[in-house]
């Protein structure tokens, strides 16, 4: 007798942790919770990519609201400990997204995911410079709210 099992779609276990000015000093959101927010698409070509890609995710500001953030400026940390600072003014002016999909597929940790901050470089050419390209941080695992 042969037994075949099928687990179906596995639950998405990607999480993003928040520290600092959030309820209780620490909050964790799942990618599924973040995916319930209104989504935007940006087709961009970060300097490290050979061609334009379509990134999809909610506004970073909306993610911070969902986490209950009460601060303004943030520091994002990637899985490799790369860090970037983003001011409240930058978020308000340029409205970056926290992408959870790239070209229609949820990003895996080994493919720049699960979370990637993408800026609207085409819409706002004044930020298509090295300083902002460096703020297009991938594999985001933590956000500190200041």
By the 8 A CB rule, do 120 and 94 touch?
A: yes
Say if 124 falls within a structural domain: yes
Cβ count near 123 (within 10 Å): 12
The b/e string for 78-108 (b: 16+ C-beta within 10 A; e otherwise) is beeeeebebeeebbeebbbbbbbbbeeebbe
CATH number at residue 75: 3.90.420.10
Is 4 or 98 the better-scoring residue by pLDDT?
A: 98
pLDDT digits (tens, 9 = 90+) for 13-57: 899 999 999 999 999 999 999 999 999 999 998 887 889 999 999
Say if 2 falls within a structural domain: no
At 12 the pLDDT is 62
| pLDDT at residue 109 is higher than 50 | yes
Is 4 or 82 the better-scoring residue by pLDDT?
A: 82
| pLDDT at residue 7 is higher than 80 | no
Q: Percent of the chain beyond pLDDT 70? A: 92
Predicted TM-score (pTM) of the model is 0.89
At 3 the pLDDT is 40
Output the average pLDDT for the chain: 91
Which residue's entry shows tokens 């298509």? 128
Range of the domain at 79: 15-145
Say if 10 falls within a structural domain: no
Say if 7 falls within a structural domain: no
pLDDT digits (tens, 9 = 90+) for 48-60: 788 999 999 999 9
Q: DSSP alpha helices (H): ranges in 24-128?
A: 31-35, 60-66, 88-94
Is 70 or 63 the better-scoring residue by pLDDT?
A: 63
| pLDDT at residue 4 is higher than 70 | no
Q: How many domains does the chain have?
A: 1
Say if 4 falls within a structural domain: no
Report the alpha-carbon distance of residue 68 to residue 107 in Å, rounded: 25
């Amino acid at each position: 007798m042969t037994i075949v099992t099928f687990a179906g779609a596995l639950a998405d276990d990607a999480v993003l942790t928040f520290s600092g000015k959030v309820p209780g000093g620490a909050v964790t959101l799942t990618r599924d919770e973040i995916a319930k927010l209104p989504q935007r698409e940006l087709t961009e070509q970060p300097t490290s990519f050979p061609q334009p890609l379509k990134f999809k995710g909610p506004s970073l500001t909306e993610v911070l609201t969902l986490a209950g953030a009460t601060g303004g400026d943030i520091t994002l940390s990637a899985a490799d400990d790369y860090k970037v600072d983003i001011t409240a003014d930058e978020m308000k002016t340029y409205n970056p997204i926290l992408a959870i999909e790239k070209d229609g597929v949820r990003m895996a940790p080994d493919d720049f995911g699960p979370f990637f901050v993408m800026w609207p470089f085409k819409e706002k050419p004044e930020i298509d410079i090295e300083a902002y390209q460096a703020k297009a941080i991938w594999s985001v695992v933590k956000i500190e709210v200041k």
